[in-house]
Structure 1
Amino acid sequence: MKFYYIPLEIWKQKDLIIQFTLRDLHIRYKGSYLGVLWSLLTPLFMLAIYSFVFTQVFKAKWAFAGSDQPSFSLLIFTGMIVFQIFSEPVNRASTIITSQPNLIKKVVFPAEVLPISIVMSGLINSCFAFIVLLAAALVMGHLSLTVIYLPLVLLPIILLTAGTALVIAVLGVYIRDMSNFISILINAVYFMSPVFYPVSAVPKKFQTIMYINPLTSVIENSRNVILNAQPPVWTGYVLHLFISLVIFIIGYKFFCSSKEMFADAI
């Protein structure tokens, strides 16, 4: 499969992807009294807790907009939402194929729909958290017109997450303890990403290593466009967009070349 056919192949499956994305969201909140409202309430509670713990308990400050205390919680919250876009689907990807044996054993079923749908489901769930973040930023006077760059800023992490999820979904079929390894890896990436701190706080000799991590660019650019009234840093953005695109293409081709063997392996 040539790489320029991939968008066309995904577009052909758009109805199934939408169907399974909505199905995943339905299962997520099935049986709960508040249903999808939890997608708004959970990040709202998280933001309130971060604001109290970091500004009142730890008295933490960040070099941002005069270092006013409410801003620190917004910076942390932004980093956590961006990281969640990546971590949730990647954590789930290792079992997404093995948990659906009835679908996988159907000859005509396009298995790639499953990992892509959990990426879309996670993205939609994170959108609710972004709504809370943007509302809080507006109330605190930090929201600016540069927020229009946000969808563009998030594109690399969406491609990176999809490509990574596709690879892990394949590995999870053959390595059944893959989920344990991924959980450990995600925790390591969590603290190696600038979620709770700016890159400038890292010793200079390690900053280059930090910028190799594609999540760093997305987290910092998200803070820039939402809270700092600054456009994205385009040099780092273009590089990480290219890397993410390559990872997605490799992941998609790897998945498509492996999926015919899934039925025998499950």
Structure 2
Amino acid sequence: MTEAASVRVLRPVGLAWRHRELLREMTRREIVRRYRGSALGAIWLVLAPLLMLAVYAFVFGVVFQVRWGGVGDSKAMFAAVLFCGVSVFSLFADVLNRSPVLILENVNYVKKVVFPLEILSYVAVLAACLHFAFSLVVLLVFVGVSMGVPPLSVVALPLVLLPFLLVLVGLSWLVAALGVFLRDVAQVTGFITTAMMFLSPVFYPITAVPESYRHLLWLNPMTHVVEMFRGILIFGRWPAWQELLLWWLVAAGALLIGHAVFRRLRSGFADVL
């Protein structure tokens, strides 16, 4: 990556750092808003992943009798593999489905020249990360209790998670900007996330897909993401450096494109809203 490209990538990241106090406060408000009026409040952060783990393990492991290659008949291992995929995809779906209305729900910020609207996408990603963090803790505790100490490869998680978050920020900028001008974007993203969920190896192993169609699943970016996270957290597979390098390049590209589109369209937000 050239020096000029590096500077362009660091610019949107630096924006989040410069406004870190604002980012922290707005993220706190977003989390409070989600649980305001709930009887159990923040307890849902732990309860929801536990209930999801139990339901998915029962439905797909007992009712549908889905089997995962490499885990044998271990129901605990199956539940962990399934829950890992669901948690990773939920992070993606949470951000993508929230993004189309980010600007529409914060119209009062649009005409404030000094307000960095790009922060809203960072807030959406960080709020979704809180849910993912609790799901991750539940997963690691479950793996530790049922199958022993989690694999050492867990220490490589930040190398995969950080670029994934950058991709989500870039996608959020893109979708949020388009959502201002095209109100149908919210419907489209809902369909896309549902389709990608079933076209990713979330509820089934990729080996269950006929070999002639398997290459189509690999065209889905979430297939690579889900498989990388499972390899690190469940199967003890260290990510290959070539795969990591490509993943970071994809993250840089998504961040640059999303930021460029957002900045280009931002000048028209006030006219539409």
Instruction: Give the TM-score normalised by structure 1.
Output: 0.93
Q: Distance in 1 between matches of 2:216 and 2:248?
A: 17
Q: Distance in 2 between matches of 1:62 and 1:211?
A: 18
Q: Distance in 2 between matches of 1:5 and 1:45?
A: 40
Quickly say closer, same or farther: Cα 1:155–1:210, change in 2 above 3 A: farther
Q: Distance in 2 between matches of 1:58 and 1:202?
A: 16
RMSD of Structure 2 on Structure 1 (CA)? 1.8
Q: Which residue number corresponds to residue 108 of structure 1?
A: 114
Contact 2:159–2:244 (CA under 8 A) maintained in structure 1: no
Contact 1:61–1:68 (CA under 8 A) maintained in structure 2: no
Of the candidates 62, 74, 80, which is equivalent to residue 74 of structure 1? 80
Deviations 1:75-121 (A, max 9, x none): 11100110111111110110110111112222211111112210111
3-state DSSP of counterpart to 1:140:
helix
Q: Distance in 1 between matches of 2:66 and 2:138?
A: 22
Contact 2:16–2:122 (CA under 8 A) maintained in structure 1: no
Q: Which residue number corresponds to residue 37 of structure 1?
A: 43
Q: Which residue number corresponds to residue 210 of structure 1?
A: 217
Structure 2 unmatched ranges of 5 or more: 1-6
Residue 156 of structure 1 and its aligned partner are, at CA, apart by 2.9
Q: Which residue number corresponds to residue 86 of structure 1?
A: 92
Q: Distance in 2 between matches of 1:82 and 1:145?
A: 19
The answer to whether 1:262 aligns with 2:269 is yes
Structure 1 unmatched ranges of 5 or more: none
Q: Which residue number corresponds to residue 219 of structure 1?
A: 226
Quickly say closer, same or farther: Cα 1:238–1:207, change in 2 above 3 A: farther
Residue 205 of structure 1 and its aligned partner are, at CA, apart by 3.4
3-state DSSP of counterpart to 2:104:
coil
Contact 2:84–2:230 (CA under 8 A) maintained in structure 1: yes
Q: Distance in 1 between matches of 2:217 and 2:190?
A: 20
Residue 213 of structure 1 and its aligned partner are, at CA, apart by 2.5
The answer to whether 1:228 aligns with 2:229 is no
Q: Which amino acid counterpart does residue 241 of structure 1 have in structure 2?
A: W
Contact 2:57–2:82 (CA under 8 A) maintained in structure 1: no
Residue 215 of structure 1 and its aligned partner are, at CA, apart by 1.7
Residue 167 of structure 1 and its aligned partner are, at CA, apart by 0.3
Q: Which amino acid counterpart does residue 244 of structure 1 have in structure 2?
A: A
The answer to whether 1:195 aligns with 2:202 is yes
3-state DSSP of counterpart to 1:163:
helix
1:11-160 to 2 correspondences below 5 Å: 11-141=17-147, 143-160=150-167
Residue 165 of structure 1 and its aligned partner are, at CA, apart by 0.8
Q: Which residue number corresponds to residue 181 of structure 1?
A: 188
Contact 1:91–1:182 (CA under 8 A) maintained in structure 2: yes
Contact 1:55–1:69 (CA under 8 A) maintained in structure 2: yes
Contact 2:9–2:252 (CA under 8 A) maintained in structure 1: no
Residue 185 of structure 1 and its aligned partner are, at CA, apart by 1.1
Quickly say closer, same or farther: Cα 1:232–1:150, change in 2 above 3 A: same
Q: Distance in 1 between matches of 2:214 and 2:66?
A: 22
Instruction: Give the TM-score normalised by structure 2.
Output: 0.91
Q: Distance in 2 between matches of 1:101 and 1:141?
A: 49
Contact 1:115–1:162 (CA under 8 A) maintained in structure 2: yes
Contact 1:29–1:36 (CA under 8 A) maintained in structure 2: yes
Contact 1:74–1:133 (CA under 8 A) maintained in structure 2: yes
Which sits farther off after the overlay, 116-125 or 54-63? 54-63
Quickly say closer, same or farther: Cα 1:260–1:84, change in 2 above 3 A: same
Residue 64 of structure 1 and its aligned partner are, at CA, apart by 2.5
Of the candidates 151, 170, 180, which is equivalent to residue 177 of structure 2? 170
Q: Which amino acid counterpart does residue 236 of structure 1 have in structure 2?
A: E
3-state DSSP of counterpart to 1:100:
helix
